[in-house]
Amino acid sequence: MTESKINTPLIPPSSHNLPDFKKSIKLKYVKLGYHYLITHGMYLFLSPLVVIFAANLSTFSLQDLQDLWNSLQYNLISVVLCSSLLVLLSTIYIVTRHRPVYLVDFSCYKPGDDRKCTMKMFVDQSRLTGEFTEENLQFQRKILERSGLGNSTYLPQGVLNIPPNPSMKEARKEAEAVMFGAIDELLAKTNVKPKDIGILIVNCSLFNPTPSLSTMVINHYKLRGNIVSYNLGGMGCSAGLISVDLAKKLLQDHRNSYALVISMENITLNWYFGNDRSKLVSNCLFRMGGAALLLSNRWSERRRSKYRLVHTVRTHKGADDKCFACVTQEEDSKGRIGVSLSKELMAVAGDALKTNITTLGPLVLPMSEQLLFFATLVGRKIFKMKIKPYIPDFKLAFEHFCIHAGGRAVLDELEKNLQLSNWQMEPSRMTLYRFGNTSSSSLWYELAYTEAKGRVNRGDRIWQIAFGSGFKCNSAVWKALRRVNPAKEKNPWIDEIDCFPVDVPKVSVI
């Protein structure tokens, strides 16, 4: 038998064969259909009942309505009791319900071009200080090349000077430039007078002078004497969301108020001039920046506000010794202070993230995802089934993601664990590239990027998530109240947004 006859099929192919449904129907559409069915199941169930009720109501005559009215006249006590109960329940609801918190607007500080620091400049400046060994200069070069940072990040003048001048005077200059620059822009955008601000919260982890940063703001803008002010220190890169959560709670007790929240970090006095490698990583990642937000609980502000705060979820793992010690400010063997990053950092961050999204999930995920997660959990724990744990699809709960731009490794890990696309990770990666790790303010540079791209539409949900020393993982969920028109916006991206996104190589050779 010839080879052609051997390869000849027993049944000749037909053009009328059924298609391979496994190939022609994508599973994602099946999942979306399931999600839609579960989410709108109640409406689908009630629709026939509504139709039946409407049909019966249409048969009512004027005589039937007259008879109903006459019957109520002879049951005055029942009418009064029902009305009283309705008024009582309405009063309880109005008094006990949480007041909505609106984000009127926010601003991000953008330093001048004289503060820009390219990667080559960073390496050259580090060498000129004479403080680092050649091995540690090469170590910093390698970290920087793989960091995901670009050549347009900013450093304060006290660090850029040769020799550097890490003094209290220079640190105050940096703090004033960042805070007042962001606040001036915010007040101009919102037309709110400083005297109208009733709550002030400033967070800066490593720089805590006396008088405090919040007092510096009060003095500069001559804020009113009965202002409720807080100065948060030592709470790491997630302190911005802690400040938002604190402002939310304060706005529940102070009616018709504005809350000004300022998130920043100070580089000048926290630059490490030693040779402990665990402390040199922060030099390569942290850069100058800050943000100011105006929150309000006034009903009149809803119309012009950008977002409504939906949820805040805070997770603190400080009771665990490993979590507590993974990010620590301490002295090296020569008495020089720096921030040490433990090798356990990524594992600790992953555990904190898991705890945080376990709490957040039931608040934001559609019922379809919760049922799948619950069914998988029951199968694994009760029936001992060998199936993979189900990871909820948070893309069904949010349109936009703002993940703290702490470093490329952090962003890579979250992209993988949350199964996010390049488009969804773009604001975080571009913020890291353009501005570096600006600590607690990075989330707002990311949201500003999303706005500058014209991606925020009314009803969109935004998830902000940040990590901080301690160890903490905090989340905030916002809902857009209107479409944000980039043509009417003023933020640090507007003048150059057409240049982004850019391709960030795994290694940027200096």
Catalytic residue at 220? no
CB 392 within 8 A of CB 365: yes
Select from 239, 278, 308, 296 the least CA-distant residue to 473: 239
Tokens 């040769």 belong to residue: 162
Catalytic residue, chosen from 108, 117, 316, 326, is 316
Of 441, 477, 485, 475, the C-alpha closest to 263 is 441
Query: What sign has the CA pseudo-torsion 362, 367, 368, 374?
Result: positive
Listed residue (278, 205, 215) closest to 237, CA to CA:
205
Q: Which of 404, 473, 474, 491 is catalytic?
A: 404
Two structure tokens written together for 15 = 């053009």
3-state secondary structure of 410: helix
Tell me, yes or no, if 400 is annotated catalytic. Answer: yes
- State how far the Cα of 409 lies from the Cα of 444, in Å rounded to an integer: 20
CB 179 within 8 A of CB 204: no
Q: Are 492 and 328 in contact (CB under 8 A)?
A: no
- Catalytic residue (choose from 400, 473, 474, 491): 400
Active-site residue, 404 included: yes
Contacts of 222 (CB under 8 A, 6+ apart): 194, 195
Contact 497, 486 (CB under 8 A): yes
Cβ atoms of 416 and 349 within 8 Å: the answer is no
Give the torsion through C-alpha atoms of 109, 110, 111, 115, to 10 deg.
130
40 labelled catalytic: no
Q: Residue written as tokens 């998988």?
A: 376
Catalytic option among 237, 284, 402, 473: 237
Residues near 308 by beta carbon (within 8 Å), at least 6 away in sequence: 100, 101, 102, 103, 302, 478, 479, 481
Considering 437, 473, 474, 491, which one is annotated as catalytic? 437
- Catalytic: 254? no
412 SS3 class: helix
DSSP label at 501? Answer: S
Catalytic site positions: 237, 316, 400, 404, 437
